[in-house]
Amino acid sequence: MFKEIAQIIAEQFGVEVDSISMETSFEDDLGADSIDIVELSMALEDAFEVGEMSEDDLGNISTVGDLVQYIQSHTEGE
């Protein structure tokens, strides 16, 4: 799942997929702002068929690892 998420992040932020790790920070490493995060969340909602991510959920996600855990917890059992 990490590889799929990393690929989407790489496309959204125009970075090499190899530069993304579980510790990559959206704000510090990728320079993401709130609009970038919303656009990313929409791409992930489509790709993984998770429900709409709330502002609270997005506020708790600061690294790629946080995002992977969120997606995994919302797709288990499917």
- Which residue numbers are catalytic? 33
Q: What are the structure tokens assigned to 21, written together? A: 């790790």
Helix, strand, coil % in the chain, rounded to nearest 5: 60, 5, 35
Q: Report how far residue 17's alpha carbon sits from residue 11's, in angstroms, rounded to the nearest whole number.
A: 8
